[in-house]
Amino acid sequence: MFRRLGLCSFAGLFLSAFLVTPVTADTVIQLASVGTAADSSQYNSQGATISIEPNSAWAAPLPGSSWVSFESTGNPNTPGFVALANGTVVDFFDVFTVPGTATGGSISVMADDSAAVYLNGLLLVPEAPSAGNTYHTCSDFGIGCVRPDVIDLPAADLHSGANTLEFAVAQRDGSSYGLDYAGYVTDPLATPEPLSLALVGTGLLAMAFLLRRRLA
């Protein structure tokens, strides 16, 4: 009887060791400018964020995103195009949720003329300075519209729960105006290790064989 109980105790320990063994798998939270109609968590200080037809001089939108604004401010040849006054700054927001504890992320940003980027109220990148800036197409340096600027999203600045990205997009030298961004945040979650289940099955078969021999 003692030997049988010992075998059962061993079986219990074997199962416990493998059934609770987790592995870490990164959950990727995707971020992209798509407008309020496609994502209700996106809005701006003027109201709804809309997808716009880009100016032909702008770079193509980043994968999974579209150029956005609050009015038709992209392509000057589009019906209803609006030219904003220099000095106009509109804040665009994207609220997203991190279920656990994020390990960081990254966001690529383009804007015409330029933009400052904030995460949860903390400035990550300032707007490009006007000194020495010709604004030939948009800003000549810093965040502009011909190539994306890649910005780290530090883990220390990401909250468990709701987070807010803010883009303060500025019109500095007339004509078109818009914003485009895409990126991600990683949030590791513990999940059962697939190999553990296979090991449990193998262990059970081995224990069944040993038990049968002991009872014989």
pLDDT at position 212:
53
Domain ranges of the chain: 1-21+193-216, 24-191
Tens-digit pLDDT profile for residues 115-170: 999 999 999 999 999 999 999 999 999 999 999 999 999 999 999 999 999 999 99
Report pLDDT for 70: 98
Low pLDDT (below 70) residues in the chain: 1-25, 190-216
Backbone angles phi, psi at 174, to 5 degrees: 65, 180
Residue 121: its pLDDT value, please?
A: 98
Sequence length of the chain is: 216
138, 59 in Cβ contact below 8 A?
A: no
Fold that domain 24-191 belongs to in CATH: Jelly Rolls (2.60.120)
pLDDT at residue number 189: 73
What does pTM read for this prediction?
A: 0.78
Encode burial over 136-163: b for 16+ CB neighbours within 10 A, e otherwise: ebbbeebbbbeebbebebeeebbeeeeb
pLDDT value of residue 26: 75
CB 107 within 8 A of CB 154: no
